[in-house]
Structure formats: structure tokens, C-alpha cells
């Protein structure tokens, strides 16, 4: 009896210890996979986007990076320039990047430094998505693919990749994951609070994802990120009211709903497969609208089907990733009056709004793939892997994409600075003018000669 009792007691005491050890080991493994994966994703995303830009683009400054953010950093100073309004909005993260470039790099390397740090921000966005999506996308490889989407989207290098003027789009891609995530500790709550503030003080459209907080608003740890998001969005709204943007000139005839939907099908949707939207436009002229409308309908049918089969956070994020691209596209075209006649596709270049909407759509496709692969036996997993194959194929086919900074009419930034040195040596108190793509005078940088000659 005593022996049996002892044996029973030993077995009883041993089993929980083994289970606890296994659980602890599993937790450590999951933690290791998450954070090592995040580092790998950050490096891969940064390197991929850097490679896709090409040397000419990397060495050429773009628009606001030169004519607005750099000029204001030099004129206003470090701190005053950070929250200085521009066209009705705040652009905190881009201005931080510009400040770091001015502070730590010679002015001759400014364009390359900004390109590198902008790519690094995209890498950090990817790393954050990899960590924050772990409760929604359970498969680590699919989560890695999801995290790299901002760098592999076909349309990204054309205009929005590798410059600060368009970093806000990448923060918009991160916003739904930040607002959907329920903090697991007060430390994670603090980190999410900082990120939420950085996002909303950079991108006003991130406010449309704030309702995702409703999923976990009763958690006390969720309140700081929620308050940060509201404060940032409120600051953007106040800036818009006090410093309204310049009324845009009409870039074309703004059409009705049919034109808006047609443009959405032809650019964000079709551009998710082929970055050459001019070729897509010519194909539409030649073969008809069905070649872009059918894929758009199929894409949204897939997202709706995934939404129906999903549950919990996956359902919330699928809804956000399906609706927000339409909001981005419609709002951008209507507010900026850049709509053109969609019957003249041969002259249409991809809009930056299309790149952002496309990246969000592709992210939705990856989430849908994870939903399908985890449910069913044959049909749905096969559909999920087909979606993964399409995303990867589109990325591979569009690795090399032309960019708007690849302009032969604008010399490399470093070359221009070198050319200005003799004049600055002759007049140290003067100012050097350095051009940026797309070559308009309003984007010229006015650099004090003391920076040009390196003294």
C-alpha cells in the first residue's frame, strides 16, 4: 500500500513537471521564432526594397525630401521642423528621417542616406507586422510573406518606395495591425502607444482603423494605445483646420462612381499583378474592360469568402484590408482632383495611391490564404496555396520596375553637390541649389555653402 501510494504520488508529481517543462519550452521556442523572424524580415524587406530601387533612384532625391522637408529642416532647425505643418498635415516620421540624414551624414550623401533609412523604415514596418500578426496568421512562413508585402508589392518602387515623402503609406499599412493587437503586457502597451502616436502623427488616414480597438477596448492595457491614436488623429485634424492645404488644381475630369471603380480595377487591382499599368490600359482599350473587372470581382469574392470562413481577429483584419484600399483610392482621387478619363489609358502612369491600395489588398490576400490553408482538407487549402503562389509570382515578375526618380534630366544628388563646391568656395556665405526629381523648381534644395564645402 505504501509502495503503491509512493509510486502514485511520484507519478502525480512528475507528470505536471514534465507538462510544465514542455509548455515552457514551447513558449521559449515561439518567442525565439517570433523575434528572430522579425529581425530576418526587417533585413530582407530593407534589402529587397533597396535592391528594387536601383542605383540611379537611390542616389536621387525625391520631391518633398528635398524641396520641403530638407529646406524646412535647414531653415527651422531640428525640433521646430518635426511637427511643422505641410499641406494641412503633420509628417513626423519623414521629418525624423530627414533630421537624422542631416545630422549624421554629409550633405553629399543626403539622397542615398534618405533612401537607405526610408527602406529601413519599411523593414521595421515588416518586422512589426510579423510580430503583431502572430495571433491572426498562425503560419510563420505565411506571416513572413505578409510582413514582406510592403517591399515586394509590384507598384511600390515606382514612386512610394525609398523616400520620406511617401513613408506615410507604409505606416498606414502597419496601422490596422497596431490597432487590432491587444497588448499582452504593460511593456507591449507602452511600445504600441509610441507606435500608434508615430503613425497618427504621420498619416491622417490611419484614423479609419481606430474602430479596430473595439475588439479589445475593455482591456486596460489597450487604453494607452487607443488614447495615443486619438490624440494623433486629433492633432492631424486640428492641423488641417488651422493650416488648410492648398486647393489642388484639377488634373483631369473627375468622373462618377463607374470611373472610380474602373480606375481601382485597372490600377490597384491589376497593378498588384503587373506594375506596367500603361500596358494594362492599352490591353483594356484593345480587349475591353472585362480583363480588369473580372480579376477585381474574383479578388473581392475571395476576400469575402475568407471573411465568412474566418473567425476572431482574422475576420476583423480581413474586413479592414478589403475596405480600406477603396477608401484610400476614392478619397485620394476625389480630394486631389487627379482623376482622368479612363478611356485614354495609354497616357496614364500609376498613381502613388494605387501602390498603397495595392499593398493593402495583397496583404488581405495573404491573410485569406492563411484562413483557407488552415480549414478544410483539399479544396480550401489548394485555394490558399494558389493565392500564395500568385503573390510570390507577381513579386518575382516585378522585381525590376521603373521608378519616377530614374530621370536622366536630374543628375545624381552627389554629383550636383560636387559641382556646386567651386562656387561655394568662392562665396562661402552663399547658397547652393540642388535639384530633385521630378525636376520642378519647387523641389529644389537651397543648401548653405557651409554644408556643401564640408566646413
Q: In the chain, how many domains are there?
A: 1
Determine the Cα–Cα distance for residues 177 and 170; give it in Å rounded to an integer.
Answer: 12
pLDDT of amino acid 6:
42
pLDDT band at residue 341 using 50, 70 and 90 as cut-offs: low
Task: Identify the weakest region by mean pLDDT among 84-88, 191-195, 286-290, 302-306.
Answer: 286-290
Q: Is the pLDDT score of 9 beyond 90?
A: no
Residue 145 is placed in which grid cell? 510573406
Determine the Cα–Cα distance for residues 350 and 347; give it in Å rounded to an integer.
Answer: 10
DSSP 295-356: HHHHHHHHHHHHHHH--HHHHHHHHHHHHHHHHHHHHHHHHHT----TT-GGGPPPPHHHHH
pLDDT band at residue 343 using 50, 70 and 90 as cut-offs: low
Query: CB–CB of 350/338 below 8 Å?
Result: no
Query: CB–CB of 347/286 below 8 Å?
Result: no
SS3 of residue 448 by DSSP: strand
Q: Is the pLDDT score of 290 beyond 80?
A: yes
Burial of residue 79 (CB within 10 Å: 0-12, 13-18, 19+) is exposed
Q: Which residue has the higher pLDDT, 49 or 253?
A: 49
pLDDT of amino acid 256:
73
In a domain, 151, yes or no: yes
pLDDT band at residue 340 using 50, 70 and 90 as cut-offs: low
**Confidence (pTM):** 0.91
Q: Which residue has the higher pLDDT, 256 or 329?
A: 329
Residue 162 is placed in which grid cell? 525609398
Query: CB–CB of 391/145 below 8 Å?
Result: yes
pLDDT of amino acid 383:
96
The dihedrals phi and psi of 434, each to the nearest 5 degrees, come to: -120, 130
Question: Of all helices (H) and strands (E), which one includes residue 441?
Answer: none
pLDDT band at residue 217 using 50, 70 and 90 as cut-offs: confident
Q: Domain span at residue 184?
A: 27-397
Task: Identify the weakest region by mean pLDDT among 163-172, 279-288, 313-322, 338-347.
Answer: 338-347
In a domain, 40, yes or no: yes
Residue 361 is placed in which grid cell? 489588398
- In DSSP terms, 431 is beta-bridged to 448
pLDDT of amino acid 117:
98
In a domain, 429, yes or no: no
Residue 98 is placed in which grid cell? 530627414
Average pLDDT over residues 133-143: 93
pLDDT of amino acid 54:
95
Q: Is the pLDDT score of 17 beyond 60?
A: no
Task: Identify the weakest region by mean pLDDT among 4-18, 64-78, 145-159, 236-250.
Answer: 4-18
Determine the Cα–Cα distance for residues 81 and 91; give it in Å rounded to an integer.
Answer: 10
Determine the Cα–Cα distance for residues 19 and 26; give it in Å rounded to an integer.
Answer: 10
pLDDT band at residue 25 using 50, 70 and 90 as cut-offs: low
In a domain, 422, yes or no: no
Average pLDDT over residues 282-303: 92
pLDDT of amino acid 408:
84
Determine the Cα–Cα distance for residues 111 and 446; give it in Å rounded to an integer.
Answer: 14
Query: Across the chain, what does the average pLDDT equal?
Result: 90
pLDDT of amino acid 278:
87
DSSP 110-174: HHHHHHHHHHHHHHHHHHHHHHHGGGT---HHHHHHHHHHHHH-TTGGGTTTTSGGGHHHHHHHH
**Which tens digit of pLDDT belongs to each residue from 156-209?**
999 999 999 999 999 999 999 999 999 999 999 999 999 999 999 999 999 999
Rounded to 10 degrees, the C-alpha dihedral 93/162/436/86 comes to -20
- In DSSP terms, 322 is beta-bridged to none
In a domain, 417, yes or no: no
Q: Is the pLDDT score of 19 beyond 80?
A: no
pLDDT band at residue 134 using 50, 70 and 90 as cut-offs: very high
Average pLDDT over residues 303-312: 96
Which are the contacts of 75, defined by CB distance < 8 A and separation ≥ 6? 81
Neighbours of 23 (CB within 10 A): 10
Average pLDDT over residues 312-333: 94
pLDDT band at residue 225 using 50, 70 and 90 as cut-offs: very high
Task: Identify the weakest region by mean pLDDT among 2-16, 102-116, 140-154, 287-301.
Answer: 2-16
In a domain, 388, yes or no: yes
pLDDT of amino acid 288:
85
pLDDT of amino acid 32:
80
In a domain, 230, yes or no: yes
Which are the contacts of 354, defined by CB distance < 8 A and separation ≥ 6? 155, 267, 268, 271, 277, 329
- Among 131, 129, 127, 66, CA closest to 102: 66
pLDDT band at residue 155 using 50, 70 and 90 as cut-offs: very high
pLDDT of amino acid 212:
96
In a domain, 184, yes or no: yes
Task: Identify the weakest region by mean pLDDT among 33-37, 226-230, 271-275, 437-441.
Answer: 33-37
Query: CB–CB of 403/57 below 8 Å?
Result: yes
Determine the Cα–Cα distance for residues 312 and 327; give it in Å rounded to an integer.
Answer: 23
Compute the radius of gyration of the chain from its Cα atoms: 25
Cis amide bond preceding 438, omega within 30: yes
What are the CA-CA distances from residue 44 to residues 39, 230, 273, 336 (Å)? 9, 33, 21, 34
Q: Is the pLDDT score of 88 beyond 90?
A: yes
Amino acid at each position: 500500500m505504501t509502495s503503491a501510494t509512493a509510486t502514485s504520488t511520484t507519478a502525480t508529481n512528475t507528470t505536471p513537471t514534465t507538462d510544465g517543462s514542455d509548455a515552457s519550452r514551447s513558449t521559449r521556442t515561439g518567442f525565439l521564432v517570433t523575434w528572430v523572424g522579425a529581425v530576418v524580415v526587417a533585413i530582407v524587406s530593407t534589402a529587397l526594397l533597396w535592391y528594387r530601387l536601383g542605383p540611379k533612384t537611390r542616389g536621387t532625391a525625391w520631391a518633398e525630401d528635398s524641396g520641403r522637408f530638407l529646406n524646412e529642416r535647414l531653415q527651422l532647425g531640428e525640433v521646430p521642423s518635426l511637427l511643422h505643418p505641410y499641406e494641412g498635415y503633420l509628417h513626423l516620421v519623414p521629418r525624423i528621417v530627414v533630421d537624422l540624414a542631416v545630422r549624421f551624414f554629409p550633405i553629399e550623401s543626403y539622397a542615398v542616406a534618405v533612401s537607405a533609412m526610408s527602406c529601413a523604415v519599411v523593414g521595421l514596418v515588416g518586422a512589426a507586422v510579423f510580430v503583431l500578426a502572430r495571433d491572426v496568421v498562425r503560419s510563420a512562413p505565411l506571416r513572413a510573406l505578409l510582413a514582406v508585402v510592403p517591399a515586394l508589392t509590384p507598384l511600390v518602387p515606382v514612386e512610394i518606395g525609398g523616400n520620406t515623402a511617401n513613408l506615410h503609406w507604409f505606416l498606414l499599412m502597419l496601422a490596422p495591425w497596431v490597432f487590432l493587437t491587444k497588448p499582452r503586457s504593460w511593456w507591449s502597451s507602452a511600445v504600441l502607444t509610441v507606435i500608434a502616436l508615430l503613425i497618427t502623427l504621420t498619416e491622417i488616414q490611419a484614423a479609419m482603423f481606430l474602430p479596430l480597438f473595439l475588439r479589445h477596448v475593455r482591456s486596460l492595457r489597450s487604453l494607452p494605445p487607443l488614447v495615443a491614436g486619438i490624440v494623433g488623429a486629433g492633432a492631424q485634424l486640428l492641423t488641417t483646420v488651422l493650416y488648410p492645404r492648398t486647393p489642388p488644381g484639377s488634373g483631369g475630369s473627375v468622373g462618377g462612381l463607374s470611373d472610380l471603380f474602373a480606375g481601382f480595377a485597372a490600377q490597384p487591382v491589376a497593378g498588384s499583378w503587373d506594375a506596367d499599368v500603361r500596358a494594362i490600359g492599352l490591353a483594356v482599350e484593345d480587349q475591353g474592360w472585362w480583363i480588369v473587372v473580372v480579376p477585381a470581382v474574383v479578388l473581392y469574392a475571395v476576400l469575402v469568402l475568407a471573411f465568412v470562413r474566418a473567425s476572431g481577429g482574422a475576420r476583423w483584419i480581413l474586413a479592414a484590408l478589403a475596405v480600406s484600399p477603396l477608401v484610400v483610392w476614392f478619397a485620394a482621387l476625389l480630394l486631389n482632383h487627379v482623376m482622368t478619363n479612363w478611356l485614354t489609358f495609354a497616357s496614364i502612369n500609376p498613381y502613388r495611391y494605387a501602390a498603397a491600395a495595392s499593398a493593402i489588398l495583397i496583404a488581405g490576400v495573404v491573410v485569406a490564404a492563411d484562413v483557407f490553408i488552415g480549414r478544410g482538407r483539399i479544396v480550401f487549402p489548394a485555394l490558399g496555396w494558389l493565392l500564395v503562389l500568385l503573390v510570390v509570382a507577381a513579386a518575382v515578375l516585378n522585381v525590376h520596375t521603373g521608378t519616377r526618380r530614374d530621370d536622366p534630366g536630374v543628375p545624381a544628388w552627389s554629383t550636383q553637390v560636387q559641382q556646386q563646391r567651386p562656387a561655394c568656395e568662392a562665396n562661402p556665405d552663399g547658397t547652393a541649389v540642388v535639384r530633385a526629381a521630378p525636376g520642378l523648381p519647387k523641389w529644389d534644395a537651397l543648401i548653405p555653402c557651409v554644408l556643401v564645402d564640408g566646413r
